[in-house]
Amino acid sequence: MPSASKREQIVTTALQLFYQNGITATGIDLIISEAAVSKKTLYNHFHSKDELVLAVLRKRDEYFRNNLMRETEKQADTPKAKLIALFDVMDAWFHEKTFCGCMFINASGELFDSKSPSRSVCAEHKHLICDYVSELAKEAGAKEPKKLAKQLNILIEGAIVFAHVAGDKEAAQDAKEMGKVFINMALE
Amino acid sequence: MPSASKREQIVTTALQLFYQNGITATGIDLIISEAAVSKKTLYNHFHSKDELVLAVLRKRDEYFRNNLMRETEKQADTPKAKLIALFDVMDAWFHEKTFCGCMFINASGELFDSKSPSRSVCAEHKHLICDYVSELAKEAGAKEPKKLAKQLNILIEGAIVFAHVAGDKEAAQDAKEMGKVFINMALE
DNA sequence: ATTATTATAGACAAATCGGTATACCTTTAG
DNA sequence: CTAAAGGTATACCGATTTGTCTATAATAAT
């Protein structure tokens, strides 16, 4: 059985390189070099680069959402406060030195076959985050939890784009102020 | 003097290919083949692929904003109605068969040197759209036109991402409903 | 201890990348 | 008519792409 730790090394390294330099622009040779792994080992774990990309995106989804949930719940107690805290978690992310936008937005901008497994992971990622926000909205007693969740997610995506493309890292605070409006509307 | 029409052919063809398949993934050989132009002609007009990318992004910015302004003002008379019409123009765009998201968001996800000229064009594009919305907001008599413009733009960017990445093309209508809230707040 | 497996390093393949150069044709201006 | 310039077509360059393969060393299970 191939070693799970080698697989981890490859995925972790590829994740970083894909995120910082793009998927197409990152070659296999660079990945194995940075991961200190032979080419055969990589192809022993993944049949192709596409398969590696898929594994990396799944890993990123897992990491990102777990981190989002953990940080959000660390910062606030009540469900309503958690909904607001979402934007502060975004704010902190935008200000990280390694911030390169949302990996799934970036990947969707590179992978143009919208029916490919990798693109499906991107779409699913967005839906799963929406689901999480929807749960919080439900706990907070929102009238239409799914509607509020979608509204807050539109704000979050908008802030991510503003921060990455326009370079306006304060967008999270603007989105937060906007989010409060809809939270209050849904809870009154 | 190199022919302007050849240059146009190249830029137009490259724009289409870059938008549909990505910048990195589109090779020079494909561009010249599709544009029915020799390689030397291309390099006679553009010193490098980077220069071509830059020209394409400028062209796209010009086309997109002019189209946005034209369509918006075609659909509505009053400044307030124009602000709302922005979302309907987005809606129509999302439902186009060739819709592949926002070219500048996609490009920013591929070009990771945030100080490169191409990335600057991406950032500038977003600012220029913001400026236009800001003008409309001013005409409509908004209390803080720039603030309202930014809010509406966050909604627009969020809707674009939702439509492209999550595949939810109805996002423009959700964003529209949200936008009305802030328009009314700014005009009351 | 033997055997099977997993790893390594790296040569190799065939294709493609961005970019240059050569040779010839075609258009346009004086 | 001549000559310069812009065009085409294509060969070529070195580097890089994904992916395969061979030979060998390290590791793990029986």
A2, pLDDT greater than 80: no
Q: Regarding the domain delimited by B1-46, which CATH topology (the fold level of the hierarchy) does it fall under?
A: Arc Repressor Mutant, subunit A (1.10.10)
CA A91 to chain centre: 14
pLDDT of residue B38: 94
Q: Indicate the DSSP class of residue A102.
A: -
User: Residue A137: its pLDDT value, please?
Assistant: 98
Domain residue spans of chain B: 1-46, 58-187
Whole-number distance in Å between A10 CA and C13 C1': 24
Looking from the CA of A78 toward its CB, the CA atoms found within 13 Å total: 5
Residue A114, CA distances (Å) to A156, B26, B28 in order: 22, 17, 24
Query: Looking at residue B188, what is its pLDDT?
Result: 81
Q: How do residues A122-175 score in pLDDT, each as one tens digit? A: 999 999 999 999 999 999 999 999 999 999 999 999 999 999 999 999 999 999
The CATH number of B58-187 is 1.10.357.10
Choose among A50, A51, A27: nearest CA to A39.
A27
Q: CA distances (Å), A142 to each of A81, A137, A147, A177, in order?
A: 13, 5, 9, 18
pLDDT score recorded for residue B4: 77
For residue A6, pLDDT beyond 90: no
- CB proximity list for A14: less than 8 A, separation 6 or greater: A26, A31, A35, A52, A53, A56
User: Which whole number is the average pLDDT over A112-122?
Assistant: 94
**pLDDT score for B173:** 98
3-state secondary structure of A159: helix
The reply to whether B122 touches chain A by the CB within 8 Å rule is: yes
| Yes or no, beta carbons of B178 and A174 under 8 Å apart | no
Q: What's residue B1's pLDDT?
A: 66
Q: Is B120 on the interface with A (CB under 8 A)?
A: no
Chain C bases having any atom below 7 Å from a protein CB: 5-11, 16-23
Indicate the DSSP class of residue B142. Answer: -
What is the rounded average pLDDT for all residues in chain A? 96
Question: Are residues B154 and A171, on separate chains, in Cβ contact within 8 Å?
Answer: yes
pLDDT in tens, A34-62: 999 999 999 999 999 999 999 999 999 99
What CATH number labels A56-187? Answer: 1.10.357.10
Rounded CA-CA distance A115/A8 in Å is: 27
Q: Does B178 contact A at CB distance below 8 Å?
A: yes
Measured CA to CA in angstroms, residue B164 lies from A28, A29, A115, B108 at distances of 28, 31, 12, 15
Where residue B141 falls (left for φ over 0; alpha for ψ -120 to 50; beta otherwise) is left
Report mean pLDDT in 10-residue bins for chain B, 188 residues. 84 96 96 94 95 97 98 96 98 97 97 94 98 98 97 98 97 98 95
How many distinct helices (H) and strands (E) make up chain B? 9, 0
